[in-house]
Structure 1
Amino acid sequence: MDTYFFGVDVGTQGARIVLVNQRGELIASDARKFDLDDRFREEQSPELWWKDCQEMMGNLIQNLPSYIDKQAIQALSVTSTSGTVIPLNADMQPIHDAIMYSDPRSAEQGKRCKTVASTYVQHGYTGFNASSGISKMLWFVETYPEKVADLHLWVHASDFIVGKFSGNYGVTDYTNVLKSAYDLEKLTWPAFVTNELGMQASWLQQVVPSGTVVGALNQELATAWGIPRIAVVVGMTDGCATQMASGAVKPGTWNTTIGTTLVIKGVTKSNVVDPLGRLYSHRHPEGYWMPGGASNTGADWISLDFAENLQALNEAAAQLIPTGKLAWPLKQEGERYPIMAAQAKGFYPEDASREELFTAGLEGVAFIERLAYEIIEELSGEKVEAVYAAGGGSNSDVWLQIRASVLNVPMYKCKEASGAFGAAIMAASNTYYGSLIEAASAMTQIEKEVLPDNSLVEAYEVQYQAFKQKLSDLNYI
């Protein structure tokens, strides 16, 4: 008898819901774009999110295949954007629209939060800015003093949807609170949040490990949908949920997602503290740490400059590697990780064919990825054992081979690596399974394994060292 789990992903412009079984097989899914106005980067209606999620859940359940036993649905969880916050009144109704992570209006408050945190925090996260939840809370209190009397609780985006499902708005998880100033080392709200930033302790949620069951599905919803009062599991940030879906959940395993940018997340046994602020660490529900960082380098250059026949370009690249040529396909000025250089500009080799430029670009991104992992190993003292690939960049077989050989570790591509799927894994992690690691091991399906090619490993070692030397010559490192 199969058991089923819902994963709900509330993104910036739409939502997706999946239903998977205990083996991670996709049973059903639905997606919808939100009807947003032109303020969506700054503020959105959380009630709109809920309306669409509620309708999608109802439609998805109603249209399940007849062989699916609805009584075997066991749990659901939610993922959403990191840093998005919502002020609620005592009736758990929003007194203001959700203040989005991408809203820049709290930049000045972000600087103050960073200054205060840096005074009090020795080894934790202090990289607060306009995208941080705590900065937005402070901005709201200072901008709308007339609403403060009605403010009862601050919640994060996924917490609001969890609350709508279960009625419990007062609990959040380790990943959501990182940018709201919670101390993940001491597992407490630090005194400076109330004493220096003026937040009231009663406004702050209880914090539990990701994967914790926080309630049961609202009885009215359960009756309307014809399913049991399934367990509702605390939410999670979208980046961490995607990491769960990729399979990178054990110490030594890492996930690189290459989309427009390159994002690295992984698991270490100890907290990774980067004095330069390039990396920050989430808390793993089983006591480990999940460091991560985001680069401005990614795959945007492919869609901008090589959008014609990608299949032909990839086939040509397979015959050209290793090129021995140095390229860094950085499309904007400035890099933030693994290099912190506001003046950095990309470069390409001269006198190269179009196919060579494309292939050298693939190699250049792999070199940036390796440099990022070298920094991680240096800071953590731990070894990168394997990399799980996600994002559009994982669809190129030759790029996977280049990256595996440059990094000299196995690279795995999972069949389904989305935030919604990661939320479903979280839903199963402490209901059907005994831990996140157990759930991810059972539910993630490796679609492709790419091992390093020994001949490429040697050639790329030489090319990589030359790449680093060029970065040094340009004063980027």
Structure 2
Amino acid sequence: MSYIAAFDLGTTNTKGVLVDEQASIAFENNIPMEVSQAQGSVEQHPEDWYKAVTEIAQHWFRSGIDPASIKLISFSGQMQDCIPVGADMLPVRPAILYSDGRAGEQAARLLAELGEDEVTRETANHMDGTLTLPKMLWLQEQEPDSYAKAASFLISSKDYIIARLTGQFVTDPTSAATTGMMQLHSRSWMTSWLERLGLDAAKLPQIIGADQIAGTVHAQGAQYTGFAEGTPVLCGIGDAGAATLGAGVYEEGEVYAYLGTTGWVAAASAGLMDVSSGAFNLAYVEPGRQISIAPMMNAGSAHRWAVDTFGPSASLPADVAGGSEGDNTAVAKAKSAQDNAFEAFERAVAEAERESGVLFLPYLYGERCPVQDSLASGSFIGLRAATTRAQMGAAVLEGVAYSIREVMELVVSRDAKLRVTLIGGGAKSKVWCQTIANVLQCELVVPDDSQYLPSIGAALLGFAHLGWGDGLGELCGCIKAAQAVQTFTPDAALADYYDKQFARYKRMYAHLQPLFQL
């Protein structure tokens, strides 16, 4: 049996699967990741990504997988990061993640220097402090030693793994489109901008096709990970591109929603969308084809907060809340407790009164789209003395569903007859899936094992190299046709209620925004 090893390096988990010629997955594995957050900064240690990939690979090999049976390695990874890496391929400092907005002042100066019209014309996107370019400026100003030591500023978590395996500094056009410095049509760096800003363009990785070979596993990479030396390593694609491929969305008008820690709504498009709302035009695999994507800061993170706050996990005894490192019994107890809390929350929300009138603005971590406001916060309205914890938990899930509906109107026509694919870890919550179908008032299709679809999308990029298929459009169609799915149909009896609630929801931010500034 021959495989493509596909890894999806997300914020909270690194996932790995082996994908065969029929696009079936096997030996799936999942390693939790830690995020460091303090005073507005959001960082991760790149070496943790490499250790997670190695741990997954070595688990495969201990399970009997022959390294020679892995014919190619491909990746998906979080984008919009700033990852300074030295000439020795080791990180200069922790990676500054996509959700870190520390470079707001630098972004404002960039807009003043370059002009908003020029930024939009060249990148087809907006400029803000979460993008890689202003983060590079922040490092140059605030940590000049880190800036000087960096041989390259990588963009996606997967780019770092590629560097460690092959010694090459590369990125793909989808990831590069999230930096604020890639010319979208030519898919090249705006080197003239970097010269004007006093930044070194030589410190940027080479932009190559997502389906191109970045290099092969070198001796040091083979020794550390166990992969066979000489195994081809694909450039791979940023997580939004991989998820789009894995969802089978390749033709104009197809749409899906992704619920991870953060989330997004995306559609394939040959045109460009208005980005004033905070949406993005991302380069897709083929030149001339884009992903229209509206990102949401609050998705699975809001669900997790609701379970912890309104579910039984809020009162877990200390002996099941976790244990010391290496305490397998405590870890097992904590995992069992988390699973039980999730299931109890599901049951409670499923039984909660659906027309409670409670609304929740899910901006627990600020928001990027349809508003750009890092000071915005989660807010309830409509609470009464009789409001229950379950109703508040249900309102949190509905709040994210309203957010999905609001940004979906940016991506697709309001008159479009929708059939939406939902993927990501959030799709494991059946009560949330039904809630989203009710709020969107359309059929919702949830593929089995949807949390691994970005890995499948990354693997599809390598099929042509191995003679397993040709044409991504055809491959995406085959993936959709072969997927086992669960379909959620909206409850027509709740349509009028959710329409009225959605109209109220859309007014919440405008009325609360002045209070967020105090």
- TM (normalized to structure 1)? 0.80
Against the structure 1 CA distance between its residues 198 and 263, is the aligned structure 2 distance closer, same or farther, given a 3 Å change threshold?
same
**What does 1:423-434 correspond to in 2, within 5 Å?**
423-428=458-463, 431=466, 432-434=468-470
Q: Supply the AA of the counterpart residue of 2:433.
A: L
For residue 448 of structure 1, what is the aligned residue in structure 2? 485
Against the structure 1 CA distance between its residues 247 and 306, is the aligned structure 2 distance closer, same or farther, given a 3 Å change threshold?
farther
Against the structure 1 CA distance between its residues 125 and 430, is the aligned structure 2 distance closer, same or farther, given a 3 Å change threshold?
farther
Q: Supply the AA of the counterpart residue of 1:406.
A: V
For residue 96 of structure 1, what is the aligned residue in structure 2? 92
Aligned-pair Cα RMSD in Å? 4.0
Q: Supply the AA of the counterpart residue of 1:346.
A: F
1:411 and 2:444 correspond = yes
1:402-430 C-alpha deviation (Å, 9 max, x unpaired): 32243243322223324545433444465
**What does 1:302-321 correspond to in 2, within 5 Å?**
302-308=306-312, 311=343, 314=346
Against the structure 1 CA distance between its residues 361 and 9, is the aligned structure 2 distance closer, same or farther, given a 3 Å change threshold?
closer
Q: Supply the distance in 2 between the matched residues of 1:207 and 1:333 (Cα, whole angstroms).
A: 31
Q: Supply the distance in 2 between the matched residues of 1:401 and 1:45 (Cα, whole angstroms).
A: 37
- CA contact under 8 A between 1:266 and 1:292: conserved in structure 2? no
Q: Supply the distance in 1 between the matched residues of 2:371 and 2:82 (Cα, whole angstroms).
A: 30
Q: Supply the distance in 2 between the matched residues of 1:279 and 1:15 (Cα, whole angstroms).
A: 26
1:112 and 2:109 correspond = yes
For residue 70 of structure 2, what is the aligned residue in structure 1? 73
- CA contact under 8 A between 1:81 and 1:158: conserved in structure 2? yes
Q: Supply the distance in 2 between the matched residues of 1:334 and 1:39 (Cα, whole angstroms).
A: 15
Q: Supply the distance in 2 between the matched residues of 1:318 and 1:11 (Cα, whole angstroms).
A: 29
- CA contact under 8 A between 1:232 and 1:427: conserved in structure 2? no
1:55-112 C-alpha deviation (Å, 9 max, x unpaired): 543x2342243xx5654422112233323334455x5544722432255554432332
**What does 1:363-442 correspond to in 2, within 5 Å?**
363-378=398-413, 383=416, 385-416=418-449, 417-418=451-452, 419-428=454-463, 431=466, 432-442=468-478
- CA contact under 8 A between 2:216 and 2:229: conserved in structure 1? no
DSSP-derived class of the 1:24 partner: coil
Structure 1, unaligned runs of 5 or more: none
DSSP-derived class of the 1:176 partner: helix
Q: Supply the distance in 1 between the matched residues of 2:415 and 2:506 (Cα, whole angstroms).
A: 25
Against the structure 1 CA distance between its residues 106 and 3, is the aligned structure 2 distance closer, same or farther, given a 3 Å change threshold?
same
For residue 288 of structure 1, what is the aligned residue in structure 2? 289
- Greater displacement, 33-42 / 307-316: 33-42
Q: 1:122 aligns with which of 117, 120, 123?
A: 120
1:178-222 C-alpha deviation (Å, 9 max, x unpaired): 232111133222254223222233333332332222223325656
DSSP-derived class of the 1:370 partner: helix
- CA contact under 8 A between 1:8 and 1:78: conserved in structure 2? yes
For residue 187 of structure 1, what is the aligned residue in structure 2? 187
Percent identity of paired positions between Structure 1 and Structure 2: 21
For residue 8 of structure 1, what is the aligned residue in structure 2? 7
Against the structure 1 CA distance between its residues 348 and 336, is the aligned structure 2 distance closer, same or farther, given a 3 Å change threshold?
farther
For residue 80 of structure 2, what is the aligned residue in structure 1? 83
1:122-145 C-alpha deviation (Å, 9 max, x unpaired): 343554344322122223333455
- Greater displacement, 153-162 / 7-16: 7-16
Against the structure 1 CA distance between its residues 126 and 329, is the aligned structure 2 distance closer, same or farther, given a 3 Å change threshold?
closer
Q: Which has the higher contact order (CA 8 A, sep 6+)?
A: 1
Structure 2, unaligned runs of 5 or more: 313-340, 513-518
For residue 467 of structure 1, what is the aligned residue in structure 2? 502
For residue 161 of structure 2, what is the aligned residue in structure 1? 161
- CA contact under 8 A between 2:16 and 2:455: conserved in structure 1? yes
Q: Supply the AA of the counterpart residue of 2:75.
A: V
Q: Supply the distance in 2 between the matched residues of 1:98 and 1:268 (Cα, whole angstroms).
A: 35
DSSP-derived class of the 2:458 partner: helix
Against the structure 1 CA distance between its residues 409 and 213, is the aligned structure 2 distance closer, same or farther, given a 3 Å change threshold?
farther
Q: Supply the distance in 1 between the matched residues of 2:425 and 2:350 (Cα, whole angstroms).
A: 18
Against the structure 1 CA distance between its residues 436 and 162, is the aligned structure 2 distance closer, same or farther, given a 3 Å change threshold?
farther
1:346 and 2:380 correspond = yes
Q: Supply the distance in 1 between the matched residues of 2:201 and 2:141 (Cα, whole angstroms).
A: 17
For residue 197 of structure 1, what is the aligned residue in structure 2? 197
Against the structure 1 CA distance between its residues 295 and 205, is the aligned structure 2 distance closer, same or farther, given a 3 Å change threshold?
closer
Q: How many residues align?
A: 466
1:323 and 2:363 correspond = no
Q: Supply the AA of the counterpart residue of 2:160.
A: F
DSSP-derived class of the 1:17 partner: strand
Q: Supply the distance in 2 between the matched residues of 1:136 and 1:158 (Cα, whole angstroms).
A: 19
1:208-254 C-alpha deviation (Å, 9 max, x unpaired): 33222222332565689474733211133334434443444443333
Q: Supply the AA of the counterpart residue of 2:382.
A: Y
Deviation, structure 1 residue 120: 1.8
- CA contact under 8 A between 1:6 and 1:423: conserved in structure 2? no
DSSP-derived class of the 1:270 partner: coil
Q: Supply the distance in 1 between the matched residues of 2:228 and 2:509 (Cα, whole angstroms).
A: 61
Against the structure 1 CA distance between its residues 316 and 162, is the aligned structure 2 distance closer, same or farther, given a 3 Å change threshold?
closer
Q: Supply the distance in 2 between the matched residues of 1:238 and 1:474 (Cα, whole angstroms).
A: 29
- Greater displacement, 175-184 / 435-444: 435-444
Against the structure 1 CA distance between its residues 213 and 149, is the aligned structure 2 distance closer, same or farther, given a 3 Å change threshold?
same
- CA contact under 8 A between 1:323 and 1:356: conserved in structure 2? no
Against the structure 1 CA distance between its residues 151 and 469, is the aligned structure 2 distance closer, same or farther, given a 3 Å change threshold?
closer
Q: Supply the AA of the counterpart residue of 2:507.
A: S
Q: Supply the distance in 1 between the matched residues of 2:112 and 2:388 (Cα, whole angstroms).
A: 49
Q: Supply the distance in 1 between the matched residues of 2:285 and 2:241 (Cα, whole angstroms).
A: 11
DSSP-derived class of the 1:195 partner: helix
- CA contact under 8 A between 2:8 and 2:16: conserved in structure 1? yes
